[in-house]
Amino acid sequence: MLNVPVYNQEGKIVGKEKLDSQIFGLPPKPELIHQVVVSLLANQRHPFAHTKTKGEIRGGGRKPWRQKGTGRARAGSIRSPLWRGGGIVFGPNKEKNYNKKINKKIKKQVFYMCLSDKVKDKKFIVLDTFELKEIKTKTFFTILSKLIPDREKNEKIKILLSLSENNLNTIKSARNIKNLKTMPVTKLNILDCLRSNYLITTLKGLKIIQEHFKK
């Protein structure tokens, strides 16, 4: 049976919670994870680089000189790629599509693997509840230090805080803390899970994960 300890805001264990082994108990498949991550990053890519082809260059409607009798090579337009300032052949184009198709079942399976890896490495932290009565970054950082003692010494540790509901006091208290990201549980995704070292949620959040992402 797969269990995870439940903490309070003081960093003390107050119980255990059973996890769905179909979501949190999958062994990782690096090749599959790599394939999905490459696809996701490609789908986020926007083709900004663009060079003008011969048809997009302005001017050149008139033939530069007559066809014969000048002693020079034949030329039909100054827009030719052979001319300085002319069109570019095989250059980058903004119409290029980088999108890659991802199988929905595979994508869901990889997401489960990311969650399973966090549980396996004991970097999936579940709180009984998470509430702040006021907007106070210092209070938030104190709670964080009790849950993850290494975070106080190493600011490079990346933390993803995923709550069941939008608590403005929590969000505003967390926004000035380096390498900390907050998001609703329903918006959890593969890339953010992989980029973070720790994933923190609540019992309500855990329940939503096991219900929402299993559909």
Mark whether 135 and 34 lie in a shared domain: yes
Beta-strand runs (E) in 97-188: 124-127, 159-163, 180-184
Mark whether 31 and 64 lie in a shared domain: no
Structural domain for 40, as ranges: 3-45+98-212
Mark whether 126 and 180 lie in a shared domain: yes
Mark whether 122 and 199 lie in a shared domain: yes
> At 198, is the secondary structure helix, strand, or coil?
strand
Mark whether 110 and 92 lie in a shared domain: no
CA–CA gap between residue 212 and residue 215 (Å, rounded): 6
Q: Show which of 97, 112, 136 is a domain's final residue.
A: 97
Q: Per the structure, how many domains does the chain have? A: 2
Mean pLDDT by 10 residues, the chain (215 residues): 89 92 93 96 93 91 93 93 93 91 93 95 92 88 90 86 84 89 93 95 92 80
Biggest CA-to-CA distance, the chain: 96
pTM of the model: 0.83
Mark whether 84 and 57 lie in a shared domain: yes
Mark whether 118 and 88 lie in a shared domain: no
Mark whether 118 and 14 lie in a shared domain: yes
Residue 153 confidence (pLDDT): 78
Mark whether 35 and 79 lie in a shared domain: no
Q: Show which of 97, 129, 164 is a domain's final residue.
A: 97
CA–CA gap between residue 45 and residue 134 (Å, rounded): 39
Mark whether 108 and 132 lie in a shared domain: yes
Mark whether 134 and 108 lie in a shared domain: yes
Residue 215 confidence (pLDDT): 66
Mark whether 140 and 57 lie in a shared domain: no
Residue 107 confidence (pLDDT): 94
Q: What is the CATH number of the domain that holds 146?
A: 3.40.1370.10
Taking each helix axis from N to C terminus, what angle separates 30-43 and 104-120, rounded to the nearest 10 degrees? 120
Q: Show which of 76, 97, 118 is a domain's final residue.
A: 97
Residue 171 confidence (pLDDT): 87
Q: What is the dihedral of CA 86, 89, 94, 98, to 10 degrees?
A: -170
Residue 50 structure tokens: 């663009």
Residue 184 confidence (pLDDT): 92
